[in-house]
Amino acid sequence: MVKSFYSLAIFCCAFFCVCNAQPVNTNISNSVTFDGEPYIAINPTNAQNMVAAWMGLRFASGTFKISIITRASFDGGNTWNTAVTLPHHSATFGSADVSLAFDKGGLLYISYIDYNQTGGTGGDYIARSFDGGLTWDTPTEVTDISEVPSKAPLDRPWLVVDNSNTANAGALYITSKPAPWIAPPNRNYYKVSTDSGHTWSPIANVDGGTHLVGNVIAAPMAAPATIINGNFCAVYPSYVSSQNVYPAFYLATSKDKGQTFSYTTVIASVPAAIDTNLKGGYHLAGDPVDSNKMVMLAADAALGDPDIMALHSNDGGQTWSARVRVNDDSVGNGKAQDMVWSAYNEQGKLAVTWRDRRNSGTNGFWNAGYDFYYAISSDNGQTFSANKLLSSQFIAFDSLIAQKGNDFMSCAYQADTLYTVWGDTRSGKMNIYFAKTIVSIDSTVGVVQLEGDEPQWRVYPNPVVSVLNVDVTNLTAGKEASVFDANGKRISIASISSPHFQISTTSWARGTYFIRIGNEIKRVVKQ
């Protein structure tokens, strides 16, 4: 009966979307705190198996800290398993910057930072899943924070895996850069593993020779990709006047698992200034069927305001096109686009996704609401389709998006279906949303049930003035209810002895509080 109900609900939702072309989004994180920077990957041996991961603010070891959360689906994103939280390597550590990659045999890798900024300890770690993201083995360290003295080479540990049929098949690559608080001069870094991430090469620089980063760039991220001919590539920024009179982006290419690199120029120009609150990340992707084709995407204000621009190569990165504008709103209208990502499908079609403010009545960043959009290219980024909405509603501006932890979204493209995840603030908090889009008819299918998300207890009224009511089920009876303030300090604790009880809030100052029972946390606002 349950399966029949789910099947009927999925069918009805899909039918409604086909007829009305109204996007359907699903909140797959459902947190009352903060979730950001998700990543999604599809199993090449089972297109119905996909895994999403993100940074989530969770309660652990007596306080709130960022952890890495994962969820897996085995029916093409229609339902998802109970969320899994990866362990910290120390009670004082917090996590950040997750990425995922399947190898061609279906082995799944996850990489992330786990460290203590104050103590200067920790590193980048990698774990493996042999069951499609249901469980993870014990993480192993990739890079220690002390490996490059004074540079903390941990930030943005992007992971890619070689799925070619060459001698380089199975090689893992992780690029990174110095932590955000490290002043320039800085360089970028990479490591290579040939044994499923258990051991790694010594840390080395992506930039080199006459293609150095230079002394003025604080965060020279190297955006990596693996190419179907077995090459490892990375794009990064540079400014050294003796190398090029203009600031540039270079492509580093290695044919021998990172032992040596060759370099080409992707673009060199005077950059137009954009608001630093915008998420101006860049992304590199390679066509999975044609090793000559690749694309780089970035937010660029060359036409008067920040647009999503694509540069493509049809000769393996030796030469690159001029900028191609992806978003199709009016040129120079003051509406900013950012937070770009991209993915090719197995036929070589390219999907690009981004955050877009074209529907806002406010220009620039502050106070500008936003949506999420996508576009498709069938000619490797030379032209793009009409832009289509991913988000199911316009999202009002929230200052949360100015904070760190929501710099990137992610997408995966399989056959005619685009799978997208992002963080937005439509609920008043940052949560992770998922969209499954049938590209050819621009329709989306909604998730019916998130396993483990059935409510076990509720609190009301919220906001609260003086008395908070708590109703629990039999599953929560006998546990403890803890109250924490906005700083994560526990201010009270009580045993649950009945299905309904009350908490006096008269002594609470106005603000945000968290109620924790078991592993579930709810946010409460005191008026």
Name 128's bridge partners: 109
Q: Token match 């009945």: residue? A: 498
Contact partners, residue 241, CB within 8 Å, separation at least 6: none
pTM here? 0.84
* β strands within 194-306, DSSP E: 204-205, 223-226, 232-238, 248-254, 262-268, 282-286, 294-300
**Measuring CA to CA, which residue among 421, 362, 371, 361 is closest to residue 394?**
371
pLDDT in tens, 256-291: 999 999 999 999 999 898 999 999 899 999 999 999
Q: Token match 């969820």: residue? A: 71
Q: What is the pLDDT of residue 481?
A: 86
> What distance in Å separates the CA atoms of residue 478 and residue 273, rounded to the nearest whole number?
58
> What distance in Å separates the CA atoms of residue 129 and residue 365, rounded to the nearest whole number?
39
pLDDT at 159 over 70: yes
Residue 6 banded pLDDT, cuts 50, 70, 90: very low
pLDDT in tens, 237-265: 999 999 999 999 999 999 999 999 999 99
Alpha-carbon Rg for the chain, nearest whole angstrom, is 23
**Measuring CA to CA, which residue among 72, 94, 99 is closest to residue 83?**
72
Q: Are 79 and 449 in contact (CB under 8 A)?
A: yes
> What distance in Å separates the CA atoms of residue 102 and residue 88, rounded to the nearest whole number?
23
Taking residues 67-72, report their average pLDDT.
96
> What distance in Å separates the CA atoms of residue 183 and residue 206, rounded to the nearest whole number?
19
Q: What is the pLDDT of residue 1?
A: 33
> What distance in Å separates the CA atoms of residue 108 and residue 305, rounded to the nearest whole number?
39
Residue 472 banded pLDDT, cuts 50, 70, 90: confident
Q: Which of 227-241, 301-315, 468-482 has the lowest mean pLDDT?
A: 468-482
Q: What is the pLDDT of residue 12?
A: 36
Q: What is the pLDDT of residue 242?
A: 96
E strand or H helix at 14: helix 2-20
Name 204's bridge partners: 190
Q: What is the pLDDT of residue 449?
A: 44
pLDDT in tens, 484-502: 776 667 888 888 888 888 9
3-state class (DSSP) for residue 19: helix
pLDDT at 9 over 50: no
Amino acid at 489: K
Instruction: Output the average pLDDT for the chain.
Output: 90
E strand or H helix at 457: strand 457-460
Q: Are 249 and 284 in contact (CB under 8 A)?
A: no
Domain 457-526 in CATH 1.20.140.10? The answer is no
If one compares 457 and 384, the residue with the highest pLDDT of the two is 384
Name 35's bridge partners: 56
3-state class (DSSP) for residue 448: coil
* β strands within 61-107, DSSP E: 63-73, 79-80, 84-85, 94-102
pLDDT in tens, 100-113: 999 999 999 999 99
pLDDT at 381 over 50: yes
Q: Which of 95-99, 114-118, 343-347, 380-384 has the lowest mean pLDDT?
A: 114-118
Q: What is the pLDDT of residue 32?
A: 82
What are the residue ranges spanned by the domains of the chain?
457-526
If one compares 320 and 81, the residue with the highest pLDDT of the two is 320
pLDDT at 447 over 70: no
Q: What is the pLDDT of residue 486?
A: 66
Q: How far is CA 325 from CA 303, 310, 412, in A?
A: 9, 6, 21
Q: Are 249 and 237 in contact (CB under 8 A)?
A: yes
Taking residues 201-215, report their average pLDDT.
98
pLDDT in tens, 419-435: 999 999 999 899 999 99
Residue 18 banded pLDDT, cuts 50, 70, 90: very low
Tokens standing for residue 455 = 């409510």
Taking residues 431-449, report their average pLDDT.
81
pLDDT in tens, 288-334: 999 999 999 999 999 999 999 999 999 999 999 999 999 999 999 99
Alpha helices, DSSP H, located in 298-349? none
Segment of 58-67, 250-259, 474-483, 503-512 carrying the highest mean pLDDT? 250-259
**Helix-strand-coil percent breakdown of the chain, rounded to 5?**
5, 45, 50
Taking residues 5-33, report their average pLDDT.
58
> What distance in Å separates the CA atoms of residue 308 and residue 300, rounded to the nearest whole number?
6
Phi-psi region of 250 (alpha: psi -120 to 50; beta: other; left: phi over 0): beta
pLDDT above 70 as % of the chain? 91
